[in-house]
Structure 1
Amino acid sequence: MPWDMKDYPASMKNLDHITRKKAIDIANALLADDYPEDRAIPIAISQAEKWAEDADQQEKNKFKKEKNPQKSDSHDTDQNSGRLLDADVAVKFEDDKWQVISEGAKRASDSFEHKDEAVQRAKEVAENKGTDVKIYKKDGTLQK
């Protein structure tokens, strides 16, 4: 069931207004991609909190002015979302950065200068998805 700013999961009630708005928007998009509610909610909250932490004030102000998410909003769907939902999360060194990427995805969800930061983020993503983390060495071999 999609949500709006007046009807949203109880787990979002303690988020500040703009973070809640972002979480609802993300959660609704995940629901459109056939994520089950019990998985969409924690993923959306985690991603919204990360967005709120990383976004500059200009981006936040722009998002704040956008229309509030509605239950009837349409979202572009991703046919690979179901497959990626169950995919393990990998930490790989590519393009001179540590990348956090779901196995089978076309692009990384995050990149970091330091491996330990990437591993921490991968663990958060995997926990939200209920999957495992695979950590690779710089040379591309799987770390034990």
Structure 2
Amino acid sequence: MSDWNAKVIEEFRANDGKVGGFFEGLDVLILHATGARSGLERITPLVYLKEGDRVFIFASKGGSHSHPDWYHNLKANPGVGVEIGSGTSSATAVEIVGEERDAIYAKQAAALENFAEYQAATERIIPVIELVFD
């Protein structure tokens, strides 16, 4: 885990899910995934979108031309842990595709301009993942 992620996670846990800096004012969760190759727990802070009872995360990697490592981990091991606020839940990561993916991504891009910029910066389609809680 990077030092930056470790600091964000520490702040998240100390403040019931609220963080400052880059994530200030955003909905942030902590994703617990199992490494695709290592089998080790990988913990990542991510911005999420809540639509009713549904929670979505976005494999944007800041508009990079490759998917983030955590996306590959979810494809190999879709069972995850999720910290939102001060609670922790189990969920299954399900990739959303097609028109539904496009509509959800458009909502996120309309709410947070960075996400429109991320998609414009890459030729890959940024995956949208729904976290389906147990």
Fold similarity call, TM over 0.5: no
Quick check: which has more Rg, 1 or 2? 1
More relative contact order in 1 or in 2 (CA 8 Å, sep 6+)? 2
> What is the TM-score with the length of structure 2 in the denominator?
0.30
Structure with greater helix percent = 1
Structure with greater strand percent = 2
